[in-house]
Amino acid sequence: MTKDKYNRFILLLGLGILVVFLVSVFIGRYPSPPGMLPGTLFEDRLARQLVLNLRLPRLLVAFLLGMILSAAGSVMQMIFRNPLVEPGFLGVSQGAAFGAAISILYFANHPLVIELSATFFGLLALGASYYLSTRIRYGGWVLRLILSGVAVSALFSAGVGVLKYMADPLTELPEITFWLLGGLYSVTWRDLLFVLPFALVGIVVVYVMRWRVNLLSLNDDTAFSLGASLTRERLILLITTVAAAAALISISGVISWVGLIVPHISRRIFGASAEKSIPAAMLLGGGFTMIADDLARTLLAGEIPLGILTSAIGAVLFIYLMISMSFKVRRDG
């Protein structure tokens, strides 16, 4: 894709997202489905408060969530040289889930405490995966991190199982289950402020290093010969994006498939070079998550957990991509 064509495409994508954002502000179940007309905002004080205090922060968080999950997914797929990797991969999702569950059970069933606990355990899982990978004495960098991530995820997943088993089935268990299904139903401006610094750092770092990500996806010896400080640069990208993902997961719960499928779609449309595919993936991911969240809150009378919707849409898209992929025969030699 040429630079001009790419720029036009990105501009269109940006405009599309703006339209989705504006439409999303007005759709919902108030005053009656499918939503309100813009004029209602001037006449109805409740509608104004609903939009200002609930829908706006929720939409912005949905957008950031999609951006960060897609950015983290793109970065991880490229530097792990594995297109099946997603942000929850290094134990972050399961760590955050454990943090939320333990907070609901033992610390305090208060949103801020749950978020802090989920972020803390998400980052702890990331740190544990990394530390474990440095202690493994065989295999390359990628294999060691993959093995460590699988092991740490399994440990935290077992921990979540134990907590669910011990939880009060009438009060605590539904709370944990609902958190695990993922959703943005209780997002406030305070939540947005909590995730904003993490998200901004993640977005800025990925954006400015987007071309470098290509280099970091090459073989270690080639990347080294081209002047990359492999461990340092990969860690900077991983820590900033995964920390941002952990912060967002702490308020959204486990939202799967966005970080896996959006980078695929972006590479398919914009080509493999991260210089083009990563900014596009961030916009696509933000738009995708906003639309999924619109559906989550409007499809049924009750809210559908966002995680269920992203999984369902993501899996269908994934199946479509796999089937429609044209396999090209490699002509070696």
Partner 1 sequence: MDKMLSLDSVYFSYGEEDPVVLADLSLDIPAGKVTAILGPNGTGKTTMLHIMLGLLKPFQGGVTVAGKSHKDYSKRELSQLIGLVPQFESIPFNFSVIEYVLLGRSPYLNPFQLPGNLDLEITEKALKEAGISHLAEKPVTEISGGERQLVHISRVLTQQTKILLLDEPTAHLDLENQNRILSLLRRMAAQGVTTVITTHDPNAAIFAADHFVLMDQGDIAVEGELEKVITTENLSMIYRTPIRVEKTNGYTMVVMDKMEEHG
Interface residue list for partner 1 (CB under 8 A): 78, 81-83, 208-209, 211-212, 214-215, 217-222, 224-229, 233, 267, 271-273, 275, 328, 330-333
Which lies closer to partner 1 via its Cβ, residue 164 or residue 212?
A: 212
Q: What is the closest distance, in whole angstroms, from the C-beta atom of residue 224 to partner 1 in the complex? A: 5
User: For partner 1, which is the closer residue by CB, 195 or 261?
Assistant: 261
Render 246-291 in DSSP notation, one character per residue: HHHHHHH----SHHHHHHHHHHHHH-S-HHHHHHHHHHHHHHHHHH
Closest contact distance (angstroms) between CB of 285 and partner 1 is 18
Question: Is the Cβ of residue 42 or residue 138 nearer to partner 1 in the bound state?
Answer: 138
Alpha-carbon separation of residue 256 from 11, 182, 196, 309 (angstroms): 27, 9, 21, 9
Helix (DSSP H) and strand (DSSP E) numbers for the chain: 15, 0
Specify the residue, 78 or 281, whose C-beta has the smaller distance to partner 1: 78
- Give the shortest CB-277-to-partner 1 separation in angstroms: 9
Q: Spell out where 146-211 has E strands.
A: none
Q: How far is the CB of 282 from partner 1 (least distance, A)?
A: 17
The nearest distance, CB 64 to partner 1, in angstroms, is 22
Q: Which is nearer to partner 1, 45 or 232 (CB)?
A: 232
Q: Which residues contact 103 (CB under 8 A, 6 or more apart)?
A: 109, 113, 114, 116, 117, 118
CA dist., res. 186 & res. 251, Å (int): 9
Question: Smallest Cα–Cα separation from 284: which of 2, 11, 13?
Answer: 13
Nearest to 283 by CA among 1, 96, 3, 19: 19
Between residues 45 and 137, which has the closer beta carbon with respect to partner 1? 137
φ/ψ of 82, rounded to 5, equals -140, 115
Helix 3-26 to helix 56-79 angle (10° resolution) is 150
Please, what is the minimum distance in Å from the beta carbon of residue 215 to partner 1?
Answer: 5
